[in-house]
Structure 1
Amino acid sequence: MTDAPGSRCFIGMTDELELKLALTPADAARVPHLGLIRGLRCGEARSRHLISTYYDTPDLALRRSGMALRIRHDGDGYVQTLKAPAAAKGKHGGLQHMREAETRLSEPVPDLSHLDADLRGFFAADGVGAALRPVFTTTIERTEIPLAVRGGTIELALDQGEVAANGATVPLSEVEFELKAGAPDALHQAARMLTGHVDARLQTRSKAARGYDLFTGDVPAPVKAPKPALTPGMTVAEAFERHAAACLHQIRANIEAVVAGDDPEGVHKLRVGLRRLRAMLDAFEPAIDPGRYAWLRSELRWFQQELGPAREWDVFIAETLAPLRAHVSANGALDEFAATAETLRGEAYARARAAVATGRATGTLLALEAWLGTGAWRPAARGNDVGAADVTAYARETLDTRWKKLRKLGRKHDRLDAAKLHRLRIRGKKLRYTGEAFASLFRAKHTEPCLNRVEALQETLGSLNDAATAERLLAEAHPRLAAASEDGLRTADAATAAVRGWLAAQVDRDTRQLGAAWAAVADAPKFWRKKPAKA
């Protein structure tokens, strides 16, 4: 891994802060010609043909450490770039923040001699540097346009091309905003302005991550929500920012799983992230700017609704149709109905994938990320600044309000129709999500029994709601199956009758369980009225 004297030139070690959006090739072709981009441009655009080879060890040691090493040929020679996790993450709201070391080479052979001592030590340990080999390549047509945004300078890089590994390729079409000078919120501002002109989705994975997935055959996996901890003495504003950032992380991390469409948990976990974020907005509403609260609440509700049908078909097929078909003997009507249900699920997934790629959804997430970074989510006039209040006292009051609303409706649980049972479920969900958000402020021996009982109630109410949703899905599937063949109407009627019979038994079971589930919640000690955890 050595070169002859004078054959290399160390360019420098910098922190790289960037934001990526994925978009269709057709929309990508429009970007350089948009009036928005022409108006922001502060220098000449240039185009480059880039071929990059990424290196790693046979056991992918760099990937496991969050690093990427590439050698890029740009027509003028070879540039080696090592990207490693930044030492100080900072408050950068979903931006990709990496440490980057560049070295100009005379030939495409890795040279590690100019790296910082800690990085040289990584490559020296266990023979990592000596074991490097090519893993995958990217071939890109890049257009670079300098932009002036909010007193800062951003390089917009429009990339069109492909990633190749093991004889396979995947297309690549994205726009990358890299901060050259100024404040990080300029990246969010530039990206958000672009989503007002073209549809795009947040690209949460680097080119290296996509190359590694192609090399290994991995697909983006659903990601669970992080669990941020609050501490006594923290302010309401600090608590909201911590929880909102965690929700955004979950939403961002599951976008690619929704696009891949291979695992129902991707849609589920993205919707959970949206639900939790909406619950946090409601829980912290007094501390949030009223105009921004109303706009975010509306946009997030729309986003969640666009994903709803995909999740509804997932639940219906897995939790109603599959056990019913397993319970009965061979049933041609149910088999045909299952095929129709799969078709409708596919259409619902197409709607979900379209939603995450809209400028509307992406612009909403970018706006909240920017506001969290700058504090712009807070009211401009802070005469009675709720955000500055102690979070423990605020949690007690908020949870007591949530509980009283749940109790008011829950006492009448045996007299509620389907619509009011759904409302009871939503109130239970709000108490649970808010309770989980504030749980770290109180002692676990008090929080866990209460929240476990609320969760059990929520599951019973959720099952009843699934049965009500199934009736709507039956109404959607019936005409589709009836029109599929000459005997379609008879088949649809038979399948619908079988499913309704199964659902009736499920509703009867859940209705009998509801009383005990409610009694358990009503009797549970209310942890927010207990002593808080020690600081």
Structure 2
Amino acid sequence: MALERELKFRLSARAASEIARALALGAAERFVSIYFDTPDQALRRARVALRLRRAGRRWRQTVKCDLSPLARGEWESEAPGERLDLARLPLAEIRETSGIDLAALAARLAPQFETRFARRSVELDFGDATIEAALDRGALIAGRRRAPILELELELKSGEPCALLGYARSLVEPFALRLALESKAERGYRLAKNEPSAPPRKWQPVDIAGATPSEALTRLVSAALAQAGANAPGVLASDNGEYLHQLRVALRRLRALMAAFRALEPKAKGLKPRLRALSPTLGTARDWDVFVASLPKRSALLATARRRQSKARVAARALLAGPLFNDFLLYAFQWAERARWQSPALPLGEFAAEALERLHGKALKLAERIDWRSPPERHALRIRVKRLRYACDSLSPCFLAAAVEPNLAALEALQEDLGELNDIAVARRLAAELDGDAGLARRLGGRERRLIGRLSRDWAAFAERWPFWRSRS
């Protein structure tokens, strides 16, 4: 199996012309690729792509499967009959790696969509690494539907992934590149199904079985970054507030991971300020989304609030399309790849138990003398609860599922209580900026009193619950 490490970027037509000149890209090669799957898209569901590609007069068949956000397994062979010839591929290895039995699916495979594009490329030698830069222009085709292809691919041919990420960072600002974590194959599937955009990406469980603490941190950080990067295009192209919400959840998970793995002494001095720089703009946009959604249709504040919401969304989109966010993603992936942290002697399960015990203790201590009526105090506890909940969720594979689930449910309930109370505090602040609404103030006050009563009971029940990490098997 070959390991493919590449980065894809969206860019404007003007930037494409500029980068072709700056990198002295070679003459165009034309490619036609046909992607295959079963009627129920078994390959897509397994995050596997199977294509037949013509380059000049030669045909090759390729299987790719996602291994991590920036790495894919790849198997390739000639296809001299201009059709799939699966017997030429290492089917047993593909099945072991991806879980897909291509031989069993062969009779059901059929074309799903095509890509037709011209590629100009150049191989760049950096001494310790070789990188191929390729500019693709063309189209995705599914029946009568078409979608444009205009993207820059940077593929690591030799060397370490950090060299690829570092070189990519040097191009982001000069050429206004936007990192694209969605492959041509996934775009093609959406086109074939007439899906306008990928749905908001929620957290997906990460396999950390058998990993060391450092390896687990690398995998979990990469997954959080992938969630953030996958939701950015939705924020740019849609008014669906769930994209922004899930993007911010991903960034909060990243913060929680740094807290949970603090014992590894991760050198995050460069990462933390980059992360903090994103928060004000994205947080403001989310605040206005939640506030507008909470207002009755006849509210006197609605029209003005929608204008403020629109302004906040414009700012958030400018941030996500610009160099600050895209450089942050690349820098953070680079930070995760280095994994140069202190490696404890403890196995992951014991390390996880100690990390969760520490986060749990901090939350309990903060709540000992809390005034539930105080928004600042509730907000501080909310941060502690989120860190603990996300850490429990990320590290749950180290423990028995039956023990984890009740604790996670209790934490989710607390997070919901504290989140709603925080929304009330934000709503009061935003309403005051719009000169207030007496009716809204009364509704918020009544809702706050009911939630405080529920929260104090929920917290008491949670504090008495036996932590699942204390009884590992």
Query: What TM-score range do you get, normalising by the shorter chain?
Result: 0.7 to 0.9
Shift of 1:33: 4.5
The SS at the match of 1:256 is helix
Q: 1:197 to 1:512 in 2, by over 3 A?
A: same
* Greater Cα radius of gyration, structure 1 or 2: 1
RMSD: 3.4
Shift of 1:125: 5.3
Shift of 1:314: 3.1
Shift of 1:509: 1.6
Which residue of 1 is the match for residue 175 of structure 2?
198
Opposite residue 178 of structure 2, the aligned amino acid is R
Q: Within the alignment, does 1:225 sit opposite 2:239 as a pair?
A: no
Which residue of 1 is the match for residue 446 of structure 2?
505
5+ residue gaps, structure 2: 95-100
Shift of 1:296: 1.2
Q: Within the alignment, does 1:21 sit opposite 2:9 as a pair?
A: yes
Q: What percent of counterpart residues are identical?
A: 32
Which of 147, 155, 160 does residue 178 from structure 1 map onto? 155
Which of 325, 350, 358 does residue 361 from structure 1 map onto? 325
TM-score, with length taken from structure 1: 0.75
Which of 58, 64, 67 does residue 85 from structure 1 map onto? 64
Q: Is the 8 A contact 1:16 1:99 kept in 2?
A: no
What CA distance in whole angstroms lies between the structure 1 residues aligned with 2:2 and 2:411? 49
Deviations 1:335-383 (A, max 9, x none): x74454444434433333333333332233223323433433x2xxxxx
What CA distance in whole angstroms lies between the structure 2 residues aligned with 1:114 and 1:438? 40
What CA distance in whole angstroms lies between the structure 2 residues aligned with 1:430 and 1:161? 44
Q: Within the alignment, does 1:519 sit opposite 2:460 as a pair?
A: yes
What CA distance in whole angstroms lies between the structure 1 residues aligned with 2:236 and 2:168? 20
Q: Within the alignment, does 1:350 sit opposite 2:327 as a pair?
A: no
The SS at the match of 1:46 is coil
Q: Is the 8 A contact 1:281 1:297 kept in 2?
A: no
What CA distance in whole angstroms lies between the structure 1 residues aligned with 2:145 and 2:315? 28
Shift of 1:166: 4.5
Q: 1:373 to 1:104 in 2, by over 3 A?
A: farther
Shift of 1:247: 2.0
Which residue of 2 is the match for residue 532 of structure 1?
472
Opposite residue 498 of structure 1, the aligned amino acid is G
Which residue of 1 is the match for residue 370 of structure 2?
413
What CA distance in whole angstroms lies between the structure 1 residues aligned with 2:356 and 2:113? 52
Q: Counterparts of 1:480-491 in structure 2 under 5 Å?
A: none
Shift of 1:466: 0.2
Q: 1:398 to 1:64 in 2, by over 3 A?
A: closer
What CA distance in whole angstroms lies between the structure 2 residues aligned with 1:285 and 1:57? 44
What CA distance in whole angstroms lies between the structure 1 residues aligned with 2:356 and 2:194? 46
Q: Report the count of equivalent residues.
A: 462
Which residue of 2 is the match for residue 4 of structure 1?
none
Opposite residue 187 of structure 1, the aligned amino acid is L
Opposite residue 98 of structure 1, the aligned amino acid is E
Deviations 1:99-155 (A, max 9, x none): 3345578xxx64648842649x948956446x54x7344344x33122113522221
Q: Is the 8 A contact 1:198 1:359 kept in 2?
A: no
The SS at the match of 1:309 is helix
Q: Is the 8 A contact 1:71 1:110 kept in 2?
A: no
Which residue of 1 is the match for residue 98 of structure 2?
none
What CA distance in whole angstroms lies between the structure 2 residues aligned with 1:387 and 1:173? 45
Deviations 1:168-189 (A, max 9, x none): 4433332101233334443223
The SS at the match of 2:201 is coil
Opposite residue 177 of structure 2, the aligned amino acid is A
Opposite residue 220 of structure 1, the aligned amino acid is A
Which residue of 2 is the match for residue 9 of structure 1?
none
Which residue of 1 is the match for residue 386 of structure 2?
429
Shift of 1:46: 1.0
Which of 70, 75, 89 does residue 94 from structure 1 map onto? 70
Which of 282, 285, 296 does residue 307 from structure 1 map onto? 282
Opposite residue 26 of structure 2, the aligned amino acid is R
The SS at the match of 1:413 is coil
Which residue of 1 is the match for residue 334 of structure 2?
370
Which of 360, 368, 391 does residue 403 from structure 1 map onto? 360
TM-score, with length taken from structure 2: 0.83
Q: Is the 8 A contact 1:201 1:362 kept in 2?
A: yes
Q: 1:289 to 1:517 in 2, by over 3 A?
A: closer
The SS at the match of 1:421 is helix
Opposite residue 28 of structure 2, the aligned amino acid is R
What CA distance in whole angstroms lies between the structure 2 residues aligned with 1:438 and 1:149? 38
What CA distance in whole angstroms lies between the structure 1 residues aligned with 2:397 and 2:44? 34
Q: Counterparts of 1:157-172 in structure 2 under 5 Å?
A: 157-172=134-149
